[in-house]
Structure 1
Amino acid sequence: MKALGFPKSHRLLRPADYSKVFDDVKLKVPHRNFLILATPNDLGHARVGLVFSKRNLKLAVQRNRVKRQVRETFRHQNDLPGVDIVLLGRQGLASLDNPTLQSILNDLWRRLKKKYHQSSPSRAAESQPAGRGTG
């Protein structure tokens, strides 16, 4: 069984990494409680950055709980495309329990993969094995 870690290589660490996503958004996945902004990278794997404000989640314990859930669901997404992702929290997150958060996040990751493959047919074709055409 493959170990599911969350190494530094899978995180957005520097302000420049966040700025790159905010300045050049290619994919948006909205939800009532979250907003995912993403832009392709050349690393071959996804990286995630989290933005949760005190305005939307008043207590640190609430922010930390939601961030843990996001990281945990992200770790289990082994087929995400090579994109840099910024996940922003919106109001109403504090009232959600963990199973609800997990189901929302899993749906958001699925929608992100779908949008990525719809928006970039050339990248989707590159990821297909050679000799598998539609003709």
Structure 2
Amino acid sequence: MPAEIEFQQPASLNHRQNKFCFGKSLRLLCAADFKPVFDNAPLRASHQNFLILARFNQLSHARLGLVMAKKHLKHAVERNRFKRLVRENFRLQQQAFSGVDMVFLSRNGLEQLSNSDFTQQLNQQWQRIFKKMRHHRLTSQAQTSPANNTKAKEVNANVKTADL
């Protein structure tokens, strides 16, 4: 008796349904995508061996760009290893970074890190970016909200009159 054969959906359908995928829409691909991040990156997380620049975008999802210089990582094997590690780590955390473009830049000494050490350091830097992102959104929201500004002025006026 032949075994039951399970038919899977085509990969293209799985790709659209999976919220943890890393398709082309989640990548910075051309110079025009990278330029705004390099020119104006209000969010930065620096580590001895790498740098992450981030900037808010007008999209509902996060995008990632990778810059692995031959100057810092001599062998293609090393460059590819770190690209895979960054992409995988970003893929798992992309929901937290919606609306942000990020660029990962390598620095000297990156090849010295083991995969686990690198992942740990990268997670710490993602957390720093996330905190700065949250802080930046809260402060910009408070500054742009007219209701908050009028309430703050009323409170300040009440405090000044109470002091007299």
Alignment identity in percent? Answer: 48
1:1-135 equivalence runs, <5 A: 4-77=20-93, 78-121=95-138
**Alignment deviations for residues 84-109 of structure 1 (CA, whole Å, 9 cap, x no partner):** 10110111111111111111111111
**Alignment deviations for residues 12-32 of structure 1 (CA, whole Å, 9 cap, x no partner):** 011100011111211111111
Larger RCO (CA under 8 A, 6+ residues apart) = 1
1:3 & 1:26 partners in 2: Cα distance?
A: 27
Q: Which has the larger radius of gyration?
A: 2
Corresponding letter in the other structure for 1:87: F
The answer to which structure has the higher helix fraction is 2
Unaligned stretches of 5+ residues in structure 1: 126-135
Native 8 Å contact 1:81 1:113 kept in 2: no
Displacement of 1:123: 6.3
Corresponding letter in the other structure for 1:107: Q
Structure 1: 4+ residue segments shifted above 4 A:
122-125
1:124 & 1:81 partners in 2: Cα distance?
A: 17
Displacement of 1:3: 5.4
Between the two proteins, the alignment pairs up a number of residues equal to 124
Native 8 Å contact 1:117 1:123 kept in 2: no
Displacement of 1:120: 2.4
SS at match of 1:117: helix
Unaligned stretches of 5+ residues in structure 2: 1-17, 143-164
TM-score for both structures, normalised by structure 2 = 0.71
